[in-house]
């Protein structure tokens, strides 16, 4: 069987240099050598998200959802009242976590194909809200929200802006300082193209001040005060996913060699546009709401998307993302991050055509 190819949103198809990291020597993680490596990597990563404040990014040995919950545990107070952009699975996850931790919130609920606009925000102007939570790219649908619009709304209303940038970072333009973002959450297995297991949280000065004034975190393990003290020496309170930090160091170096942040964003956009042109040429439908460069949703009306996914996996060893719930038979999602090329995309589109033809033939035979 040929080697499988991953066009999924994470963990993504790893670069060979990331795989090769594990052939190198490592130092004990409680040494100053490891701490210095971490400090340098975190500083560079924080710069890539647009935050140059010293010691304002921490990392957690945890999934993105754990980081989302830890942010709620550490960055909210009983008096907070939040707005959540709830346009899919991950916006809804913020709602679930806020509810679980008894933080008052109002959800702006969007249908899966409904574009977020300023009209959705107008009724919440000049109210008593204190925070705005958004998954900037709603991964379950592919919609990319307008960060400029959200930023301006948050500034006008003096809201702390918390952004899950897990599936937009290193795929779309993103800058904490430019847009006045107070907290950014990212994870290792998406745009960074690393193994799953680490999440990173970056803070503005006013969010750091809020954390420092919080009496007690809801979690001992995820107490951000402890992490912020430890990160000054490149350490964490508890054992981290050590080897992924070496992967990060290597990936940050690769991004520099490639030409830096903009070169990386340009390449992802190139792959994205190439794929969308190819699928458009063969008559497949893409949503008309704003999309991230990170993935492309493809809409099926007359056949089941899940059947196409199954044939790609079983017959061609190609993996793409399904959707859940009511969209399971309607949409497949194809990722443009990870170690894939234009040639890989050509092969994917060719095999998609074959899979679609097979599904249609089987459907016709049943009639």
Interacting residues of 228 by C-beta distance below 8 A, sequence separation 6+: 55, 58, 208, 211
Residues near 290 by beta carbon (within 8 Å), at least 6 away in sequence: 115, 143, 144, 145, 146
**For position 362, what pLDDT does the model report?**
84
Q: Which of 258, 287, 309 is the last residue of a domain?
A: 258
Residue 295 CA to residue 141 CA, distance in Å, equals 9
Same domain, 49 and 88: yes
Residues 173 and 187 in one domain: yes
pLDDT of the residue at 1: 42
**Both 249 and 270 in a single domain?**
no
Give exposure, 149-183, as e/b (b: 16+ Cβ within 10 Å): ebbebbeebebbbbbbbbbbbbbbebebeebbbbb
Looking at the structure, tell me whether residues 234 and 342 fall in a common domain.
Answer: no
Q: Can you give the pLDDT at residue 105?
A: 98
Can you give the pLDDT at residue 201?
A: 98
Q: DSSP assignment of 43-86, as one string?
A: HHHHHHTT---TT-EEEESS-HHHHHHHHHHHH--TT-EEEEEE
Question: Rounded distance, CA 35 to CA 27, Å?
Answer: 10
List the CATH number of the domain containing 315.
Answer: 3.90.1150.10
> pLDDT tens per residue, the chain (367 residues)?
457 899 999 999 999 999 999 998 889 999 999 999 999 999 999 999 999 999 999 999 999 999 999 999 999 999 999 999 999 999 999 999 999 999 999 999 999 999 999 999 999 999 999 999 999 999 999 999 999 999 999 999 999 999 999 999 999 999 999 999 999 999 999 999 999 999 999 999 999 999 999 988 999 999 999 999 999 999 999 999 999 999 999 999 999 999 999 999 999 999 999 999 999 999 999 999 999 999 999 999 899 999 999 999 999 999 999 988 888 899 999 999 999 999 999 999 999 999 999 999 887 777 6
Assess whether 229 and 302 both reside in one domain.
no
Domain count, the chain: 2
Provide φ and ψ at 165, rounded to 5°: -105, 25
The pLDDT value recorded for residue 233 is 97
Q: Are 216 and 290 members of one domain?
A: no
- Give the integer Cα–Cα distance in Å for 218 and 224: 10
Boundary (domain end) residue, out of 210, 242, 258: 258
- Residues 251, 350: one domain? no
Mark whether 145 and 214 lie in a shared domain. yes
One DSSP character per residue, 301-318 reads: SSS-HHHHHHHHHHHH-E
Phi, psi (degrees; rounded to nearest 5) at 186: -135, 165
CA-to-CA distance for 215 and 34, rounded, in angstroms?
Answer: 31
pLDDT for the residue numbered 325: 84
Q: DSSP labels for 213-230?
A: H-S--S-STT-HHHHHHH
- pLDDT recorded at residue 128: 96
- What is the structure's pLDDT at 204? 98
- CATH number of domain containing 143: 3.40.640.10
Residues 145 and 275 in one domain: no
Domain of residue 31: give its range.
Answer: 17-258
Assess whether 327 and 293 both reside in one domain. yes
Query: What letter does residue 158 receive in the DSSP assignment?
Result: T
Regarding whether 270 and 253 lie in a shared domain, the answer is no
- Same domain, yes or no: 172 and 245: yes
Task: Point out the domain boundary residue: 224, 258, 292.
Answer: 258
Query: pLDDT (tens digit, 9 = 90+) per residue, 184-214?
Result: 999 999 999 999 999 999 999 999 999 999 9
Token pair, residue 366, equals 């049943």
Q: Provide the pairing of β-strand 137-138 with 5-7.
A: unpaired
- CA dist 309 and 300 (Å) reads 12
């Amino acid at each position: 069987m040929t080697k499988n190819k991953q066009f999924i949103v994470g963990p993504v198809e790893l670069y060979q240099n990331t795989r090769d990291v594990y052939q190198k020597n490592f130092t004990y993680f409680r040494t100053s050598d490891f701490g210095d490596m971490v400090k340098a990597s975190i500083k560079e990563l924080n710069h890539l998200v647009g935050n140059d404040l010293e010691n304002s990014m921490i990392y957690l040995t945890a999934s993105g959802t754990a980081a989302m919950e830890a942010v709620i545990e550490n960055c909210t107070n009983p008096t907070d009242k939040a707005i959540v952009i709830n346009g899919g699975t991950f916006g809804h996850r913020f709602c679930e976590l806020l509810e679980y931790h008894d933080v008052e919130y109002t959800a702006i609920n969007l249908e899966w194909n409904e574009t977020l606009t300023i009209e959705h925000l107008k009724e919440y102007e000049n109210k008593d809200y204190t925070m705005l939570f958004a998954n900037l790219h709603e991964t379950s649908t592919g919609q990319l929200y307008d960060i400029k619009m959200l930023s301006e709304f948050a500034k006008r209303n003096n809201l702390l802006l918390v952004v899950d940038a897990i599936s937009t970072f290193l795929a779309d333009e993103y800058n904490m300082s430019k847009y006045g973002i107070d907290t950014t959450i990212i994870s290792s297995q998406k745009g960074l193209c690393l193994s799953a297991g680490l999440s990173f949280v970056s803070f503005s000065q006013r969010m750091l001040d809020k954390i420092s004034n919080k009496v007690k975190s809801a979690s001992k393990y995820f107490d951000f005060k402890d992490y912020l003290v430890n990160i000054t020496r490149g350490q964490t309170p508890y054992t981290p996913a050590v080897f992924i930090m070496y992967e990060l160091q290597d990936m940050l170096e690769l991004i520099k060699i490639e030409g830096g942040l903009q070169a990386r964003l340009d390449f992802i956009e190139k792959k994205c546009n190439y794929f969308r042109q190819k699928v458009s040429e063969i008559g497949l439908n893409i949503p008309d709401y704003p999309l991230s460069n990170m993935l492309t949703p493809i809409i099926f009306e007359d056949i089941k998307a899940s059947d196409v996914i199954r044939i790609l996996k079983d017959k061609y060893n190609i993996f793409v993302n399904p959707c859940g719930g009511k969209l399971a038979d309607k949409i497949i999602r194809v990722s443009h991050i990870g170690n894939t090329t234009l040639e890989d995309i050509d092969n994917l589109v060719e095999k998609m055509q074959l899979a679609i033809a097979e599904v249609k033939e089987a459907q016709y035979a049943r009639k």
